[in-house]
Chains A and B, each alone.
Chain A
Amino acid sequence: MKITFLHNEEELLWQRFKAGDSGALGQLSRRHYRALFNYAAKFTKDREIVRDCIQDLFLELWERREHLTETPFVRIYLIKSLRNNLFRKLRQERWMLESEDLDEDLPFSDHTSAESTLIESELFQENEGKIKAVLAKLPKRQQEIIFLKFYEGLSNDQIAEILTMNRQSVANLLHRALTSLKTNWFSLAKMLLFCWANVK
C-alpha cells in the first residue's frame, strides 16, 4: 500500500515539474542537494563554484523539462552530470588564472579549511576533523570512492559507471583505500570509539 502511494506521489511531483511548477523543482532538487554538495566539495574548496555548478545543473533540467521523457532526478545521473560540469568549470578557471594546461586529475581538496557548520558539539567537531584529516591523506580517487561507497551507498557497478572505470578497478581501488585507512587505523579506531561514546 505504502509503496503504491509513494509511487503516485512521485509520479505527481514529476508531472508537476514537467508542467512548469517551480515548487516541484524545489522539492525534487532538495532531495539531492546535500549529497551533491558534499560530493562536489571534495574537489574544490571554493563553495561558490560548487553552489553555481549545482544550480546550473538543476536549472538546465528545468529548461529542458518539456523534452525530458524520464525523470533525471536520479542520484547517479545527477552525480555524473555534476562531475562533468564541475571538472569543466574548474579546468576553465585554472586556465584563466594560470593559463596552463591541466591534466585529468584535479586535486581533491585537503579538507583542512572545511567549515562544518553541521556538527553539534565542539568535542565532536574536533574528532570529525581528525577523520577528515585521515581521509585527506588518501589520493583523491580513493577519497572519491570512499564517498560514493560510504555516503552514497553505491554498489561497485554504479561507482564504476560514474568514474568510467571497470568494476575490478573499483574493487581494487576500494581495497587500497581501506588498506591505507587501516594504516592509520590504530589512532582512528581509538578516536571512533570516542566518537561513539559521545554520540550515544
Chain B
Amino acid sequence: MIDYTAYDAEALALDESFRAWVLENAESLFWERWLAEHPEKDAAVQQARRVVWALYRAQEEISEAEVDEAIQQLVQRAEEGVAVVPLWRQTWVRVAAALVLIPLAGWLIFQRNFSEEVTPYHEIVQQIKHEVKLIEFTNTTSRAQSVMLSDGSSVVLQPQTRISYPTIFQTDKREVVLSGEAFFEVSKNPEKPFFVFANGLVTKVLGTSFTVQAYEKDQEVRVIVKTGKVSVFTREDPTADAKQKNRELTGLVLTPNQQVTFRRADSRLVRSLVEKPQLLALSDIQQQSFEFRQAPVSDVFAVLEKAYGVKIVYDEELMGACELTATLGDEPLLEKMHLICKVLEANYELIDAQIVVTGKGCK
C-alpha cells in the first residue's frame, strides 16, 4: 500500500487512485477512511480535489445535445451504408500518387547509393518489435544525454543519436538498436548477454564498457572497448545466429584499447589498437577515469553530471562539505551513485531524469 501521508496536494492530484476517487467516486471506502485517520491532510486533499476538478472541467468543449446529434447522425450514416472511402482508394489520390511516384521512383534508383528505403536501424527495430515492446529515444540536443535501461545499464548518447530499447528486457537476452554514437556501461549478467545492433554490426557483451560509432551516413562502423571484453560480428555472418546464442564470447573478441572497424561496403572487419589521436576524438566519458581523492562531493557530482549529461540535485549547503575518496570504473551511472551514497550515508532517487540525493551531510 502506498503511504499517502507524505503526499502533498500536487502529488495527490497526480495520483491515479486519488483522481479516480474524486472523479468517479471509485475506491471511496479507502479514501474516506484514510482521510478520517489523517485529519491533518484535509487541506491538501481539498486543494487537490479542486485542482483535479478544475483541470477536468476546463477540458469540456461540447454539450450533451451536440453529442446526441452527432451519435444520431453517425447511426443514420451507418444504416445508409455510406462507405468511407479510404484515402488511398480515392481516385484523385491515386492519380496524384502515380504522378508523384513515377518520377520519384526514377530519382530513387538514381540516388540509390545515398538513400536506402529501409535503413538497417529500422529493419532491426521492426524485427525486435515482434518479440518485445520497444521505446525509442533520440538525443536532439547539442550535448550528451543519458538513458537508463531497465537492467541498470546506462547509455550516454551523443547528439543526433537514436536508440531503441525494450521497457523490460526479455528473459534470455538484452537487445538494443543504435544509430549514431553512444558509450555503454553494461551491468554484469552472464545469463543475459547484451547486444548492440548498429548498421549491420552486432556487438555482444556480458558486462563492460565500450563505445559504438554507427552513423547512418558513415560508411564505417566502429566499436571501441574501454574495459572488459566484447565480441563483434556482422549480421550477414552465416554463423551469427549461433554466435548470438552462445554463452561464450566468440567471433572477433576485443579487449581494452582495441577497436574494430567495420566497412559497410565490403562487410570487412578490421581490428586495430586505439591510437592516441583517435582517442581525442572520442567523447569525454570514454577516456575519463573517475578517481577521487578527498574530493568535495560537489566536484564529484559535477564530474558525473558532465560525463553523463544528467542533472544531480542535492542540498549544497548540507552536503557540499562532504569529501569522497573513491575509484570508480565502468559501473553504470546508477551503480556509481549507489556506491557514492553508501559512503556518504545518503540516498538517491531517479526523478524525472534528475538524480535527487538526500542525506544528512557530514559536518
Contact = CB atoms under 8 A, between A and B. Distances in A.
Interface of A: 22-23, 25-26, 29-30, 33-34, 37-38, 41-42, 51, 54-56, 58-60, 62-63, 88, 114, 116-119, 128, 131-132, 135, 146-147, 149-151, 153, 155, 157, 160, 164, 166-169, 171-172, 174-175, 178, 182, 189, 192-193, 195-196, 199
B67 interface: yes
B60 A33 contact: no
A37 B69 CA distance: 13
A160 B352 contact: no
A153 B61 contact: no
Most buried by B among A29, A59, A150, A196: A150
11 contacts: A38-B59, A38-B61, A56-B84, A58-B74, A118-B64, A151-B55, A157-B167, A168-B352, A178-B10, A192-B54, A195-B50
A182 B72 CA distance: 42
Contacts of B83: 63
B139 to A, nearest CB: 12
B71 A30 contact: yes
A193 B55 CA distance: 13
Interface in B57-102: 57-67, 70-75, 77-79, 82-84, 86-87
Question: What bracket does the count of chain B residues touching chain A fall in?
Answer: 35 or more
Interface stretch (B12-20, B151-159, B193-201, B211-219): B12-20
Contact of B135 (A151, A167, A178): A167
B73 A55 contact: yes
B54 A59 contact: no
B78 A147 contact: no
A157 B137 CA distance: 15
A64 B47 CA distance: 46
B7 interface: no
B353 interface: yes
Given A22-B75, A166-B136, A33 B352 contact: no
B135 A166 contact: yes
B352 A26 contact: no
Contacts of A41: 61-62
A196 B50 contact: yes
A147 B74 CA distance: 25
Contacts of B49: 196
A82 to B, nearest CB: 14
B79 A22 contact: yes
A149 B14 contact: yes
Contacts of B50: 192-193, 195-196
Interface in B269-325: none
Contacts of A172: 352-353
A171 B351 CA distance: 9
A37 B65 CA distance: 13
Contact of B67 (A34, A63, A171): A34
B30 interface: no
Contacts of A63: 83-84
B56 interface: yes
B78 A131 contact: no
Contacts of B55: 131, 135, 146, 150-151
B51 interface: yes
A59 B74 contact: yes
Contacts of A164: 136
Interface string B1-34: 0000000001001101001100100000000000
Contacts of A169: 137
Nearest to A197: B50
A54 B70 contact: yes
B319 to A, nearest CB: 23
Contacts of A42: 59
Given A131-B58, A195-B54, 16 more contacts: A22-B75, A22-B79, A29-B74, A51-B70, A59-B74, A60-B86, A88-B87, A119-B57, A147-B59, A150-B19, A150-B59, A153-B16, A153-B20, A166-B136, A172-B353, A195-B53
A23 B75 CA distance: 7
Most buried by A among B20, B62, B72, B135: B62
A9 to B, nearest CB: 19
Given A33-B71, A150-B19, A155-B16, A59 B78 contact: yes
B78 A62 contact: yes
Interface in B200-259: none
Nearest to B134: A166
B134 to A, nearest CB: 10
Contacts of B73: 55
